[in-house]
Structure 1
Amino acid sequence: MQDLSYVRTEMVPEQEPPASAVGLFGWMRANLFSGPRDIILTLVSLYVIYAIGSEVLAWSLQDTWGATSLRECREIIAARLGPDAHGACWGVIRERYPQMLFGFYPSEYYWRPILALVLLFVALAPVLFSSVPRGLRYFSPFYPFIGAFLLWGGSIWLPLAALAGFVIGYLALNAVGSRFGTLAGTIACVLAAVAWWLFLAGPVASGLQSIVPLGLDAVQSRAFGGFMLSITIGVVAIGASLPLGILLALGRQSDLLIVRGLAIGFIEFIRGVPLITLLFVASTLLNIFMPPGTNFDIILRVIIMVTLFASAYMAEVIRGGLAALPRGQYEAADSLGLDYWKAQRLIIMPQALKISIPGIVSTFIGVFKDTTLVSIIGLLDPLGLTKSILADQDWNGIVWELYGFIALLFFVFCFSMSRYSMHLERRLQTGHR
């Protein structure tokens, strides 16, 4: 019997989308050639990219790695391309890259900063990636003391004495906090740790070293330089500014007038002063207020100032995340009977940090790039070393090669942080869906 119904009784089989709508060609058609205006802009952009890119490639793709001076580079390029040709002189990178990376650190001890960098990645792996064996997380809290010992050397008892300060603070927190409350325990923790570090850590470490001499050959801070100096300052400032920023953000929202006033005053003062001013204070004025004969390491002073500067900006980023949380989250924590610190640790702060991830990473990147400012106060970061290399008669006139090498290394670190931020946002599903 013939079927005359209007309604189809079976599904039409799916068909492949047209080739012009999917894949590379589909993307190009939708984004680059969707209309006359887009076609014109795409063609003009391609021409500009080709014109600039061809010149850059012709300049950079020169085999001048074996040259030992700028004059020899020019002779090599003239012999290949003619007397009026120009090209990059990469011989300066081959000859000076150890200095660009390690400054004036003794070459026989290069293994120490290299090992410290490798151990840094080992310590960060369980913090940054969930797929890493969790047993490594027990190594992470001890890395700051191991890294400092490898870089500066000296007695092994000094970093152990510094570590003991945290143990003493923790014991004071438990002893006082269990009897007089969390606030009193926190104050006792800070006072006990600071008193140990200021008055007892040094003598105890010296006494133990005289009994059991263990350690590495000491390297003075003036030998630090290059990217090793930038990474040292940047990593410490980044790692310390996040917890300090959290405490400052919580202090700014505290109901205690003194705590809130101190937090607001610190944040507004630091954010209102340029970093270069703080670095000048660290390098010159700080010694005036120290007791006579005090030898306060210049790199440690710079690290403290950069950390304080970054923590003030970090506090505002985290405060924005706290302000973005609905009031119901605070009420839910209260309804569960959680005290202030448990509510912050288990409910409030994890959500605030998730919201603040882009701002936090942006602050980290800015701090790492701001480490180049230390060249103004005499520390030989990569830019500071560039001036000394340009003063060499053999390389006087080299500009783009050195700054391009520095820019490439900074780009690798900053781009890696940016990509990890995007990975973390996707993993935690920070965005609205």
Structure 2
Amino acid sequence: MAVANYVRGLEAPKLAPPANLKTIRHHLRENYFSSLGSGALTIILGSFLVWLAWQIIGFALLDAVWTGSNRDACIPADGTTGGACWPIISQKFGQWIYGFYPVAERWRINICAVAFVAGLAPMLTPTAPYKMANAIYLLVVFPLVAFVLLTGGNYNVLPGSYAGVICLAFWIAATLPLSVFGVDEGAKRNSLGLALAGAAVILWGSSFIARTDITVFGISFDSGFLSLASGCVSLWVVLSNSVARRSKAFLIWALALATMLAAMLLLDIDFGLVPVETAQWGGLTVTLVVSITGIAASLPLGILLALGRQSNLPAIRTMSIVFIEFVRGVPLITVLFMASVMLPLFLPPGMNFDKLLRALVGVALFSAAYMAEVVRGGLQAVPKGQYEGATALGLSYWQMMAKIILPQALKISIPNIVGNFIVLFKDTTLVLIIGLFDLLAMAQTGLRDAAWATPVTAPTGYLAIALIYWAFCFSMSRYAIFTERRLHTGHKR
């Protein structure tokens, strides 16, 4: 049988293996010198960056002064401008971290820092076990312990007369519809127990507003006793119903009551700590307290606002839209100024809030409005089929959101969420407007010390502050990238 002339009769010659395309030369040619214009731009920008890096290295390391006790050590003998004056950083570093906190009590801040890192590290480690217990520690146990340590504790937990009115109104609003519309006995008992537990929580929370007894029909009651009694009654009501005992509402109620009682006990115990007012706080302590509180509060509030803006209930949707658009329409400095100056004008006589508490509330609400729009963008990016599939499975609205929609929306929104966190961390410098000295304000105060007045004092201080802020922001950014890559493994192509 004849072989066709287009069929190769001899083996093809072996070609040399392809060159390694991952060499430095190939990378430079493909990314930096792909054309004449690209090469010229690379040379110009590269030269500028090398010159800038050399100037910074020369100022911060090569020509820097590392030891000294006053400004004389940082002034060259020839009268020229020298390098960085690092001795002032070592002299003022304690003030930068602790502010005006008493030196003998700084160990309390150190314990809080160690306790926070001990809870945060396993929480951020994907393979670490006991995530739920760790979350309870970070969100419940640690805030209470840190609050007692930083302030000194020993609070006389007694709500005021306003708390009694709020408690009575809440109880009537929760129980009256059950009696009027004739809800079955099991639901009625469960709701009654939850209403009484909510009243107990309100009583306890109101103890920070006014510390007087409650007077009802001319009889004076100890508010702490009423709070505890309402919690015990609600416990008896709920436990009397076997259906309620197995409900998730009962579990949530029991955790809330246990947290409330533990907080009351912890805040009322005299541990012998010296009271330290928040006016004595400052430096990195205030920066971390404001930023961490704002971050922890803004995300859940932003999620609720985003869901409220997409709600089918007109009242909830309207209130969410009004709040988001109003807060996003004003700068943070205005919110802080209003919280510091205008809020006391609307409160009853004799009632006031701590300046740090005002800053925490203002920052949390401001950041929540921006976070709501970030989460709403993630919700809109989830395909409609996900909603339809969840509905077809018979899931309720909250089950659908918690198990299907929100995990996808938050995963999509990770870059923008972390971007908001970084902006919030840097915006804490604005708390100076209400008299709180954060890290930057405390550093500026220390740099005005006449004993260290040199031409390089301010540049050295601001360089150190920039490095501290960069370290925190860069850490958040890198962890966000790590989390994003870890959660997007199923979408790689």
Q: Is 1:103–2:104 an aligned residue pair?
A: no
Shift of 1:331: 1.0
Consecutive unaligned residues of structure 2, counting only runs of 5 or more, are: 158-166, 212-222, 225-260
Alignment of 1:185-196 (within 5 A): 193-196=201-204
Q: Is the 8 A contact 2:204 2:264 kept in 1?
A: no
Aligned to 2:472: 413
Shift of 1:316: 0.6
Deviation per CA, 1:132-177: give whole Å up to 9, x if none.
232652523322222222222223897xxxxxxxxx9xxx9x9999
The one of 328, 335, 359 equivalent to 1:302 is 359
Alignment of 1:294-333 (within 5 A): 294-333=351-390
Q: Is the 8 A contact 1:93 1:402 kept in 2?
A: yes
Aligned to 1:162: none
Letter in 2 for 1:363: N
Shift of 1:13: 9.1
Alignment of 1:261-410 (within 5 A): 261-397=318-454, 398-410=457-469
CA distance in 2 between partners of 1:262 and 1:108 (Å): 48
- Whichever of the two has the greater Rg, that structure is 2
The one of 2, 6, 9 equivalent to 2:8 is 6
Over aligned residue pairs, what C-alpha RMSD do you find?
3.5
Aligned to 2:73: 72
Letter in 1 for 2:148: F
Alignment of 1:11-26 (within 5 A): 15=17, 17-19=18-20, 21-26=21-26
Shift of 1:395: 2.5
Q: Structure 1 residues 51 and 63 mapped into 2: Cα distance closer, same or farther (>3 Å)?
A: closer
CA distance in 2 between partners of 1:241 and 1:296 (Å): 20
The answer to which of 241-250 and 104-113 deviates more is 104-113
Q: Structure 1 residues 31 and 210 mapped into 2: Cα distance closer, same or farther (>3 Å)?
A: closer
Shift of 1:380: 0.9
Count matched residues: 411
CA distance in 1 between partners of 2:82 and 2:348 (Å): 57
Deviation per CA, 1:68-97: give whole Å up to 9, x if none.
3333310xx33xxx4434221112101101
Aligned to 2:138: 140
Q: Structure 1 residues 210 and 404 mapped into 2: Cα distance closer, same or farther (>3 Å)?
A: closer
Q: Structure 1 residues 209 and 357 mapped into 2: Cα distance closer, same or farther (>3 Å)?
A: closer
CA distance in 2 between partners of 1:359 and 1:189 (Å): 38
Aligned to 1:38: 38
Letter in 2 for 1:98: G
Shift of 1:56: 2.2
Q: Is the 8 A contact 2:371 2:420 kept in 1?
A: yes
Q: Is the 8 A contact 2:328 2:366 kept in 1?
A: yes
CA distance in 1 between partners of 2:292 and 2:390 (Å): 34
Q: Is the 8 A contact 2:64 2:82 kept in 1?
A: no
Q: Structure 1 residues 132 and 11 mapped into 2: Cα distance closer, same or farther (>3 Å)?
A: farther
The answer to which of 388-397 and 178-187 deviates more is 178-187
Alignment of 1:242-253 (within 5 A): 242-253=299-310
The answer to which of 357-366 and 126-135 deviates more is 126-135
Q: Is the 8 A contact 2:340 2:358 kept in 1?
A: yes
The answer to which of 6-15 and 141-150 deviates more is 6-15
Consecutive unaligned residues of structure 1, counting only runs of 5 or more, are: 159-167
Q: Is the 8 A contact 2:153 2:270 kept in 1?
A: no
Q: Is the 8 A contact 1:317 1:359 kept in 2?
A: yes
Aligned to 1:117: 113
Aligned to 2:240: none
The answer to which of 312-321 and 388-397 deviates more is 388-397
Aligned to 2:252: none
Q: Structure 1 residues 55 and 63 mapped into 2: Cα distance closer, same or farther (>3 Å)?
A: closer
CA distance in 2 between partners of 1:53 and 1:211 (Å): 55
CA distance in 2 between partners of 1:315 and 1:180 (Å): 35
Shift of 1:39: 2.6
TM-score (norm 1): 0.84
Name the SS for the 1:52 alignment partner.
helix
Q: Structure 1 residues 53 and 209 mapped into 2: Cα distance closer, same or farther (>3 Å)?
A: closer
Shift of 1:293: 2.4
CA distance in 2 between partners of 1:56 and 1:209 (Å): 50
Aligned to 1:161: none
Q: Is 1:127–2:123 an aligned residue pair?
A: yes
Name the SS for the 1:154 alignment partner.
coil
The answer to which of 342-351 and 4-13 deviates more is 4-13
Shift of 1:221: 0.3
Q: Is the 8 A contact 1:240 1:307 kept in 2?
A: yes
Shift of 1:219: 1.4
The answer to which of 308-317 and 285-294 deviates more is 285-294
Aligned to 2:233: none
TM-score (norm 2): 0.75
CA distance in 1 between partners of 2:283 and 2:208 (Å): 34
Q: Is 1:152–2:209 an aligned residue pair?
A: no
Letter in 2 for 1:144: P
CA distance in 1 between partners of 2:468 and 2:296 (Å): 20
Q: Is 1:93–2:89 an aligned residue pair?
A: yes
